[in-house]
Amino acid sequence: MTQRVELATVRDRLAVDGLVTDYAVAVDDGDWPAYRRLFAPEGRADYRSAGGITGDADAVAAWLAEALQAFPVRQHLIVNRRVRFGVWEQDTGDTAEVQADYVNPMASADGDGGPVAPDFVCGGRYAFALLRTVDGWRLSEVVVREKWRRLPERRTRDVID
């Protein structure tokens, strides 16, 4: 592999990693226009394993905007990113796949709008498919594979008669 090819691979790796980070930030911030811009024109997302929908980026962004209203405090972490680029005749191609684990704590806000302890935490694995476009790397598919979730503990008050 030449130095020029190695440099291009590093640049692509950084761009792909940045796109995955931008995805997490858009979802956590509720920035649905930014979420939509991350996708290629035919891009799709599948949230069915987490109780959601599958569809194009517009439909899924609209669903997420509504579904996540109950949790204005979100900070999901995407870790253990495994990136694989498409290969054609031993050169880096124009497609990539990223497999990455996630942990997603979400909380409602207290009466003053401040943060509270997470009401809901889930985790699983993302499968991202990416495509190099004239505008740079874009998501062609996102599949969420939720593996676990923890709901808030039910707390009861002591009642004094």
Report the pLDDT value the prediction gives residue 119, as an integer from 0 to 100: 80
Report the pLDDT value the prediction gives residue 160, as an integer from 0 to 100: 41
Q: Which domain holds residue 99?
A: 3-150
Is 156 part of any domain?
no
Report the pLDDT value the prediction gives residue 157, as an integer from 0 to 100: 40
Q: What is the CATH number of the domain that holds 135?
A: 3.10.450.50
Q: What is the pLDDT of residues 34-54, one digit of tens each?
A: 999 999 999 999 999 999 999
Beta bridge partners of 55: 45
Work out the widest C-alpha separation in the chain, in whole angstroms: 80
> Measured between alpha carbons, how far is 21 from 78 in angstroms, rounded to an integer?
8
Task: Provide the mean pLDDT of the chain.
Answer: 88
In degrees, rounded to 5, the angle at the alpha carbon of residue 118 between the alpha carbons of residues 30 and 59 is 30
Write down the pTM of the prediction: 0.85
Secondary structure (3-state) at 118 = coil
For residue 156, pLDDT beyond 50: no
Report the pLDDT value the prediction gives residue 3, as an integer from 0 to 100: 67
For residue 69, pLDDT beyond 70: yes
Is 9 part of any domain?
yes
Q: What is the pLDDT of residues 94-137, one digit of tens each?
A: 899 999 999 999 988 766 666 566 688 999 999 999 999 999 99
Distances 96 to 138, 149, 154, 156 between C-alpha atoms, Å: 10, 29, 43, 49
Task: Residue 69: name the closest of 112, 30, 111, 26 by CA.
Answer: 30
Counted domains in the chain: 1
Is 64 part of any domain?
yes
- Place 8 in a pLDDT band, splitting at 50, 70 and 90: confident
Is 161 part of any domain?
no
For residue 86, pLDDT beyond 60: yes
Listed in order, strand segments (DSSP E) in the chain are 39-46, 54-56, 73-74, 77-88, 91-107, 120-133, 136-150
